[in-house]
Amino acid sequence: MPLNHNKRFVERDRTWHPAAYTPGYKTAVARSPSQALVSLQAPSVSELSGPEFTNLRMGPHDNDLLLNYRENPGRENQGQNGLPIGERIIMFGRVVDQFGKPVPQTLVEMWQANAGGRYRHNKDSYLAPLDPNFGGVGRCLTDNEGWYRFRTVRPGPYPWPNGINTWRPAHIHVSVMGPSISTRLITQMYFEGDPLIPICPIVQTLNSQEAVETMIGRLDMGHSRPMDCLAYRFDLVVRGELQTYFENV
Amino acid sequence: MKQPNSTPTSELPLRETASQTAGPYVHIGLALDVAGLPPRQEEIWNRMATTEADGELIEVVGSVIDGNGDLVRDAFIEAWQADAHGEYQCDFDLEKLFNSFGRTATTVETGGEWSLITVKPGRVEAPNGKPMAPHINLAVFARGINIQLNTRLYFDDEHDANAACPILNAVESPARRQTLIARREEGEGGRVRYRLDIRLQGEGETVFFDF
């Protein structure tokens, strides 16, 4: 595999991203470094490269959460039987870099709670029930123009032990690789208009409303399917990739 | 789009999507087995190398410790490393003997330990042409971590290479460099094991990088 030193990525603006120490989000208090990050002035191939997943073999429903979890996987899906309960939605969007260039064939992964806000995870003991037909995990590669697409149900909000009465807004966790480990990003998609967004301590780890806007999926009636499901559009922007024109000799 | 030459250099067309914590249930999405979910056709996990892969098969283990000295039992870690010949294998394919990319996690069940089965990486050049010491790039995600923490794992039996590594030497404090160096120990079945505990905060705090 040839090493490609011939690129770099736009510097990450760490005042735009949440800081490590954000005491309103209590878990961050003991999990944030107290020392400054050490900046690599000249990133190496270690940072400028990353995995590509075109040869990761996926199942036919890996991006379809309405179909990819069944209590009885062998059973045929007949009528409403076997479908999860909740608001049927398409979540889709485009992965581009900061210069607007599409990021094709990159891995987008997502996970979420069910319509009642309950995660299918050993550690989640919230009293809202599991949905026997909902797992809550999806993945896909972007296409050649950078588009990705999932079909799922809209997740519910849920309480969590932070303040006395803290609730997460409805959200879908989203993970994107991009062209290198420098562009690696995990974020959360929130839903346009959700009144829990401005009072969430995790959302409030961001300093600006402008940055919060980058995490909000927008209702997209044009891409919804009549009599079937609504659509939310969520574009992801990863760090801009530049060519290195002159290097030191 | 803006016109060329009229855009201030400080301004970019688009801002990066903001990061958020991976949260307590990251395993549902990225480590299904840990969450108790059935596996899909192929999963990205912690066996980066088979016994047939070129190089020395090693196990790399550690824990993640918070600012109170307590184990972090819900961390999710990604690894990116060169193969035994010092080359990054970008094409992830589970049919290959070695993959440069792997994932692992700490859980209550594993006593808060993460582990990777891999080969010891070869040396890779820094941009100035000087060799970096063998290393594994690690990214730590977890509840309470708002944006992933990037670090490197070096090997304590590579003393000379470590001493000359331009990246290690970019860490001003020699004492802090030691936080990146995994200790060699005897693993099960005679396999070589290296241990690196990642301390998120406070005494012995691991060096984290911005790049």
pLDDT, tens only, B131-182 = 999 999 999 999 999 999 999 999 999 999 999 999 999 999 999 999 999 9
Q: Identify the pLDDT of residue B4.
A: 53
Whole-angstrom distance, CA of residue B6 vs CA of residue B56: 55
Decide if pLDDT at B87 tops 80: yes
Whole-angstrom distance, CA of residue A214 vs CA of residue A235: 8
Q: Identify the pLDDT of residue A79.
A: 46
Bridge partners, residue A167, by sequence: A159
- Active site annotation includes A171: yes
Beta strand segments in chain B, E:
57-65, 76-81, 101-105, 113-119, 124-125, 131-132, 136-141, 149-155, 181-186, 192-195, 198-199, 209-210
- The CATH classification number of B20-199 equals 2.60.130.10
Pick the closest to residue B206 from A44, A11, A32 (CA basis). Answer: A32
The tokens for A246 are: 């002159």
Residue ranges of the alpha helices (H) in B21-109? 26-30, 32-35
pLDDT, tens only, A13-26 = 999 999 999 999 99
Asked if A40 lies within 8 A of B211 by C-beta distance, the reply is: yes
Whole-angstrom distance, CA of residue B146 vs CA of residue A161: 17
Task: Share the mean pLDDT of chain A.
Answer: 93
Whether the CB of B192 is below 8 Å from some CB of chain A: the reply is: no
Chain A residues in contact with B199 (beta carbon < 8 A): none
DSSP string, A118-181: --SSTT---SSPPPTT---EEEEE--TTSEEEEEEEPPPPEEESSSTTEEEPSEEEEEE-TTST
Decide if pLDDT at A73 tops 80: no
- Residue spans of the domains in chain A: they are 42-238
Per the CB < 8 A criterion, the answer to whether B192 and B56 are in contact is: yes
pLDDT, tens only, B1-35 = 445 555 555 666 899 999 999 999 999 999 999 99
Q: Identify the pLDDT of residue B9.
A: 56
| Non-local CB neighbours of B37 within 8 Å, separated by 6+ positions | A120, A135, A137, B28
Pick the closest to residue A43 from B150, B149, B206 (CA basis). Answer: B150
Asked if A14 lies within 8 A of B147 by C-beta distance, the reply is: yes
Look up the CATH architecture of domain A42-238: Sandwich (2.60)
Asked if A12 lies within 8 A of B209 by C-beta distance, the reply is: no
Q: Determine the residue among B19, B171, B173 to mutate to test chain A binding: the one whose Cβ has the most chain A Cβ atoms within 10 Å.
A: B19
Residues of chain B numbered 42-101 and touching chain A (CB < 8 Å)? 42, 44, 66-68, 70, 72, 74, 78, 80, 82, 87-95, 99-101
The stretch A114-140 carries a mean pLDDT of 96
- Residue spans of the domains in chain B: they are 20-199
- Active site annotation includes A21: no
Decide if pLDDT at A2 tops 60: no
Chain A residues in contact with B35 (beta carbon < 8 A): 120-122
Instruction: Look at the block and give the residue holding tokens 């120990």.
Output: B185
Q: Identify the pLDDT of residue B110.
A: 87
Sign of CA dihedral B10, B14, B17, B18: positive
Pick the closest to residue A178 from A127, A123, A122, A102 (CA basis). Answer: A102
The stretch A69-75 carries a mean pLDDT of 63
- Active site annotation includes A126: no
- Band the pLDDT of A244: cuts 50, 70, 90: confident
Q: Give the count of Cβ contacts less than 8 A between chain A and B.
A: 281
Whether the CB of B171 is below 8 Å from some CB of chain A: the reply is: yes
DSSP three-state, residue A88: strand
Whole-angstrom distance, CA of residue A171 vs CA of residue B90: 31
Look up the ipTM and state it.
0.94
Alpha-carbon torsion angle A21, A22, A25, A28, nearest 10:
0
Chain B residues in contact with A52 (beta carbon < 8 A): 90-92
Residues of chain B numbered 110-149 and touching chain A (CB < 8 Å)? 124-128, 132, 135, 137, 139, 141-149
Region of poorest pLDDT, from A17-26, A62-71, A76-85, A198-207: A76-85
- Band the pLDDT of B189: cuts 50, 70, 90: confident
Q: Identify the pLDDT of residue A138.
A: 98
Per the CB < 8 A criterion, the answer to whether B118 and B58 are in contact is: yes
Whether the CB of A12 is below 8 Å from some CB of chain B: the reply is: yes
| Residue B189 distance to chain A (closest CA, Å) | 31
Whole-angstrom distance, CA of residue B144 vs CA of residue A243: 35
CA angle centred on A244, ends A243 and A249, rounded to 5°: 160
Q: Identify the pLDDT of residue B210.
A: 98
DSSP three-state, residue A208: coil
Whether the CB of B202 is below 8 Å from some CB of chain A: the reply is: yes
